[in-house]
Amino acid sequence: MTGRSVVITGANSGIGKETAVVLARRGASVTIAVRSPERGSAALADIRLRSGSDDVQMVALDLGDLSSVRRCAADLLDRLERIDVLINNAGIITEERRVTVDGFEEMFGVNHLGHFLLTDLLTERLVASAPARVVVVSSLAHRFAPRGMRFDDLQSNGSFTMFGAYGRSKLANAMHALELSRRLEGTGVTVNCLHPGTVASGFARDGDARRLGELISRVGHLVMTTPEKGARTSVLLATSSDPSIAGVTGGYFSRGRQWRPSRAARNPRAAARLWDESARLVGSYDDLTQRAL
């Protein structure tokens, strides 16, 4: 990965942090995009120490605030002449329905819409850096939404359950990857998503999902894999030169190989509809001009 520039969201802990360590150790120039400056600074120091690389930097990013997403994208475009790999890793889960500063249901807003906007704003740089890759951390939890996206209630105003809303946000990740791969066909940029495994990380432990966080703290180590192992598929999709990886776009991976996601995640018409709805939502708040590639 020497000479390659990698951007990773949510890399202050867990899978994202371990992904950053491995890629920096392999010679990549790594930029972590984090919400908390304090936790980000501590993670930055640890990544540099463990990887043995000083070529690691940090930018501020709050995926729940579209103005922050735009500032982060502008900062990245100013700092980085090329972006070879974008890893959309950050994610949250909440027990109660909460909204972002822009008024979106928080899991849909952070897990999907924030990444949707960030990726769109960085797409031209990715294409200019081709061959390049977009790696989207989805989840097996996308199967919690077997009926697909609720297009009549994307913000879960009518009804809300923690796992239902989380599952739809992870389905949105997979659908975004599918539609983006179609739009970027022929550009030299591949787009794939993944399930990292059930990982004992900092996920759900920062107060967003109190009871779930407590349960994970107590028994997670008995049934979950480590963040280091959870990062393996992200690293594989970011680095592998094997044609079964490097030559694939629009795929869904787990445990080092390609799998078939849910029927809803494979629906190209629904993926295109979600793209249009997402563009409308972020555009209405952020004056985004969608670019046709």
Residue ranges per domain, the chain? 5-286
Tens of pLDDT, residues 36-50: 999 999 999 999 999
Q: Which two tokens stand for residue 9?
A: 């969201």
Tens of pLDDT, residues 154-207: 999 999 999 999 999 999 999 999 999 999 999 999 999 999 987 554 544 455
User: What integer pLDDT is reported at residue 226 of this predicted model?
Assistant: 87
The domain defined by 5-286 carries CATH number 3.40.50.720: yes
pTM (whole model) above 0.85: yes
Of these residues, 108, 166, 252, 275, which one is catalytic?
Answer: 166
If you average pLDDT over residues 20-33, what whole number do you get?
Answer: 98
- Asked about 252 being catalytic, the answer comes back as no
The bridge status of strand 56-60 relative to strand 85-88 is unpaired
If you average pLDDT over residues 62-69, what whole number do you get?
Answer: 98
Tens of pLDDT, residues 87-129: 999 999 999 999 999 999 999 999 999 999 999 999 999 999 9
CB neighbours of residue 131 within 10 Å: 11
Helix residue spans in the chain (DSSP H): 14-25, 37-51, 66-79, 106-107, 115-128, 162-183, 210-223, 227-230, 232-239, 243-246, 268-286
